[in-house]
Structure 1
Amino acid sequence: MKTGEIVELRVESLGFEGIAIARLHGGDRDGLVVQLRGGLPSERVLARIRRRKRTYLEADVVEVLEPSPHRRTPPCPYAGECGGCTWQHLAYAEQLRWKEQHVRDAFERIGHCIAQEYRPIIPSPVEFGYRGKMEFSCSTRRWIPAKQWESMEPVAIERKQPAVGLHIRGRHDAVLDIERCLLLDERSNALLAAVRELIPRCRITCDDQRQRSGFLRNVIIRRSGLGEMMLVLVTRSPSDQSDQLFLERCVELGSRFPDVQSIVWGINDTLSPIPTGPFTVLYGRNHIREQVAGIEFRISAQSFFQANVPNLERFVTAVLDAASIEPSDVVWDLYAGTGTLTLPFARQCAHAIGIESNTAATCDAQANAERNGITNVTFITADLHDRAAWDCLDGLSTPQVVVLDPPRAGMHPRLTEYLCRRLPQRIVYVSCNPTTQARDVAMLSHAYRVVAVQPIDMFPQTYHVESIAVLERC
């Protein structure tokens, strides 16, 4: 079968990454798996082969012949091109059902363990406008969707057009220009529009990855449930007056938007998309405030905080319930961030210890403890993928409860070995990637059993799902 060939398929299921799964029937390729973009289970579709792999094919839906009863028209005009949302064409109730199934499949097929209880998924109270943080990439070359090519004059195609938006699926070098994102609330979209207007007005350049040039690299917007907003600008070092003028005009947005409490600027002259230098406060404070479980948090530009603002309270409550903390317990919160979980734990236990590799997040966490008068908590800056961190843990009292919320890649294998040596009574493993979570749980299975798994949807319109696993010592 050749690349570009059109084939008729019947979609069977949705895979872990949100990709539809189908199979070829007949001929010498009978049973060959096809990973399909844009299809839904039970649908009959025509698809174009995009890429051939050794054991499967990749394809794109070009026509839906028999639609699923759960298919809907995406409300976003960028759906299908933008890499931000992959499931807008799937009814929300079905999104939840598949996320539940993916969590269960991960534990049983990857972790080879069966939980005593799989709890019903906790839905997000809203499908759109939920994100408390969105990071938009800036590019001197705008990605033009295929459906727009015929309506554009050749000169418009050839001319470099700046873009402020999100990467298309599978391409980190292509930015789709986005005027309004449905995952943001209206105030955040208005702020984004105001920044976009300043780019041509101030005649600044956007990032050019090929030439490693251009001034504006990222625009990041954060908001909290308290209504406070932060604008983060990431640029290369200014090179002319237009760059300085842009920064000055951005500062003026603070007076135009009363909700904006912080405008900060970071310089990134490296090849990495992540700014490494310090941030400069251009307007207001260096943080915004959030309130969860009766605790006030400060969130700075570089700090991690859960993105679903309306569902944040339920997320924290679910983790607290899973931990079943006693007043005499010592609790370790590994990958603690700004203390989103550590501080609520501290109010229920004898002592809580938060370990976090990001120095800025640790500073925020300590400030959050002081702001709320919580004294039975200790925060330590340490990289849990480094041996030195385990030496640090050796000097601490063995906890009754350990809470983990690692990055998508999961835990370091030696950290799982370390936990099996310390043997806390209970481990609460929080993850946004059930596949790596299940892998890690399997490494703990000789010492722990999985009591319960609680999915919670923090990412509507995407295949991502948060999973809370409760492990108890055998």
Structure 2
Amino acid sequence: MLLKKNEIVEIEITGMTAEGSGVGRVEGIAVFVPGAAAGDRLKVRILKTAKTYAFGKIEEILEPSPERIESDCPCSEQCGGCAFRHITYAEELRAKENRVRDAIERIGGLQNPDIHPIVGAEHADGYRNKAQIPIGQDKQGNLIAGFYANHSHRIVQCDCCALQPKPFEQALDAFLEWARKSGESAYDETTHKGKLRHLYLRMAEGTGEVMVCMVVNGNGLKGEDSLAALLRERVDGLKSVLINSNREDTNVVLGRRFRTVWGQDFLTDRMCGLQFRISPLSFYQVNHAQAQRLYALAGEYAGLTGKETVLDLYCGTGTIGLSMAGRAGRVIGVEAVAQAVENARENAALNNIENAEFLCMDAAEAAQLLVQRGEHPDVVVLDPPRKGCAPELIRTVADMAPSRIVYVSCDPATLARDLKLFRELGYAAGLITPVDLFPRTKHVETVVCLSRKNPDDRIEIDLDLDELDITSAESKATYEEIKDYILKNYNLKVSSLYISQVKRKLGLEVGTNYNLPKSENTQVPQCPPEKETAITEALKHFSMVPFK
């Protein structure tokens, strides 16, 4: 059966998609319906068809799902931001947990993964500490603000978003009042004319501090001082009023240049018992309460005892790494955004944390650099963007051979893909916990603990070969002396296993107990080329092989 456009069909919704749409079947064809709930029986108008699936919209609710509720937001159906505002929060959590499980099993190939119950939020509204609100005009030419409709740049007017805190509503009201009197025009994406592009808002929930930033197509606005005065009068907790200049023909919200109109150019927040300085471009989790729960889980999965070196990739302002610093021997944070790295260093100083350093560079490049420096992190924390980790970064992390990897993901599909590659490289996913940082929206975070597989899968053996059979050649230098020489001269750390591999390759005898595998399935890691060169030179230094 091939469904036709505008055909009306009766359908029972049996599940939810990653985008928050309901899904049911008609004669074996999957039909995706926005705004539907699992358990609904509906009349649906078909809008678009393909051979094996179709898209439709609700014409009539014949029998509502027990989990269906009335949306309390007049904009939710048009805006598309709150994909789950029409169902109970308990049902939303079930849908998100099922989404994580489905991705990990189907994409990641894990059988019976150890997925703990999703960590839901105590408050599903008013939690967002950041908003980017586009400014535009309606058909009558009136200035409006709101959010883009799903999959478009059409602005749905919304003067009060339920996900945002009260100060954001105060800031938007004051800004629109000023803007409508100022004579400044809204930016037009088609003509690239007009000044007002976005209103960018941030809040530090732990302190109540608020930042208001106008994104403009130009260098400034007429009457900036009067705007700042109105914001100071109306906005609770206001600490910062900024202008961001974005004159590019781009969909990117923020330009590169900020200018302070009033107050300071940063916010200070309190989280996990620490203080954090947040600049306009710094990555910072949008849900303060749930972020603390997320970081507590990450710390638990890291299993720190006070001695470990922790490598925190995609560290942002250093929140995760610094929250672990008190239980670690050392923390190395890596972030590509220079301003965020500056904030991370300030945050370490602000909290008197002296065992943390931060590198401003791409995560993959930094990981390679640390390998070259001979760094061997015990725990690696990954908190990548939605696209996940690049394969080369995953391989580099695996080559570092940390005992544990804590992966914090904002997309179950890319997480599952990356877990599959980690498994191929010797790391098995253990505990998995979804965390709902974005209530009422389609997004969900997940924390995963990966550890090196058991001997039957992949092990690295570092025997004390000095205590085994020693040949006359070996008596010229112990394994520890060779390691010390290489560390001092090449800044590389090598294992006894690698030294033995190189010696055997050069025809030197090694102890008879060298590399005895515990099972026939064991995959023994091989010495990397740069370490093989260093070991060979060390053996020459100790006259254990002839110079050539």
Whether TM-score is above 0.5 comes out as yes
Between 3-12 and 445-454, the greater mean CA deviation after superposition: 3-12
1:233 equivalent in structure 2? 214
| Structure 1 unaligned spans of 5+ | 26-30, 143-156
1:189-338 to 2 correspondence within 5 Å?
189-225=169-205, 226-238=207-219, 243-245=221-223, 247-256=224-233, 257-272=235-250, 273-338=252-317
Tell me if the contact between 1:327 and 1:349 (Cα under 8 Å) persists in the aligned partners.
yes
Amino acid across the alignment from 2:209 = E
CA 1:134 to 1:11, structure 2 compared with 1: closer, same or farther past 3 Å? same
Q: Which stretch of structure 1 is more off in the superposition, 263-272 or 107-116?
A: 107-116
| Cα distance in 2 for residues equivalent to 1:287 and 1:349 | 28
**Which residue in 1 is equivalent to 2:54?**
57
Change (3 A) 1:394 1:64: farther
The equivalent of 1:183 in structure 2 is 163
Q: 1:115 to 1:370 in 2, by over 3 A?
A: farther
User: Quick one: distance in 1 between partners of 2:374 and 2:283?
Assistant: 25
1:445 and 2:423 are equivalent in the alignment:
yes
4+ residue runs of structure 1 moved beyond 4 angstroms? none
Structure 1 partner of 2:483:
none
Query: Which secondary structure does the structure 1 equivalent of 2:405 belong to?
Result: strand
From the superposition, tell whether residues 115 and 432 of structure 1 become closer, same or farther in structure 2 (CA, over 3 Å).
farther
| Match runs of 1:21-60 below 5 Å | 21-25=23-27, 31-60=28-57
Q: What is the rounded CA distance, in whole Å, between the counterparts of 1:342 and 1:238 in structure 2?
A: 37
Describe the SS at the equivalent of 2:56.
strand
Check the 8 A contact 1:325/1:348 in 2, yes or no: yes
Relative to the length of structure 2, the TM-score reads 0.79
Q: Is the 8 A contact 2:367 2:393 kept in 1?
A: no
For CA contacts below 8 A with separation 6 or more, give which structure has more relative contact order: 1
CA contact (8 A) 2:105 2:113 kept: no
Q: Which has the larger radius of gyration?
A: 2
**Mapped partners of 2:59, 2:230: distance in 1:** 43
The residue number in structure 2 matching 1:421 is 399
Mark the runs of 5 or more structure 2 residues left unpaired by the alignment. 454-548
Q: Report if aligned partners of 2:145, 2:157 keep a CA contact under 8 Å in 1.
A: yes
RMSD: 1.6
Deviation track 1:57-114 (CA, whole Å, cap 9, x = no partner) reads: 1112222111001000111111111122111001001111111111111111110014
Q: How many angstroms does 1:462 deviate by?
A: 1.1
Distance 2:369 2:351 in 1: 30
State the distance in 2 between where 1:110 and 1:367 align: 40
1:110 & 1:322 partners in 2: Cα distance?
23
- Any idea what SS the aligned residue of 1:100 has? helix
Aligned amino acid, residue 237 of structure 1: G
Q: Distance in 2 between matches of 1:388 and 1:354?
A: 10
**1:4 corresponds to:** 6
Kept in 2, the 8 Å contact 1:115–1:451? The answer is: no
- Partner letter of residue 356 of structure 2? V
Contact 1:20 1:38 survives alignment (8 Å): yes
d(CA) in 2 for partners of 1:388, 1:351: 16
Identify which of 416, 419, 430 aligns with 2:408.
Answer: 430
The percentage of counterpart residues that share the same residue type is 32
Output the CA distance in 2 between the equivalents of 1:69 and 1:396.
Answer: 58
Hey, what's the Cα distance between the residues in 2 that align with 1:309 and 1:170? 28
Could you give the per-residue CA deviations for residues 37-59 of structure 1, whole angstroms, max 9, x where no partner exists? 11111211122222234532111
Match of 1:394 in 2: 372
Per-residue deviation, residues 203-239 of structure 1 (Å, max 9, x unmatched)? 2111211111221111111111211111111111058
Contact 2:271–2:288 (CA under 8 A) maintained in structure 1: no
Matched residue, 2:323 = 344
Shift of the 207–396 alpha-carbon distance from structure 1 to 2, 3 Å rule, reads: farther
Deviations 1:153-187 (A, max 9, x none): xxxx5x2333211111121x211111101111222
Q: How far, CA to CA, are the matches of 1:469 and 1:115 in structure 2? A: 15
Greater shift in the superposed pair: 79-88 or 49-58: 49-58
SS of the residue corresponding to residue 190 of structure 1 reads: helix
1:356 and 2:335 aligned: yes
Asked if 1:379 is matched to 2:376, the reply is no
Counterpart mapping for 1:31-110 below 5 A: 31-110=28-107
Instruction: Give the AA of the match of 2:306.
Output: P
Task: Tell me which residue corresponds to 1:165.
Answer: 146
> In 2, distance between residues paired with 1:393 and 1:274?
36
Q: 1 CA distance for matches of 2:333 and 2:125? A: 32
CA contact (8 A) 2:409 2:415 kept: yes
**8 Å Cα contact 2:302-2:406 kept in structure 1:** yes
Within 2, Cα distance between the matches of 1:88 and 1:430?
26
User: 1:181 and 1:396, CA in 2 relative to 1: closer, same or farther beyond 3 A?
Assistant: farther
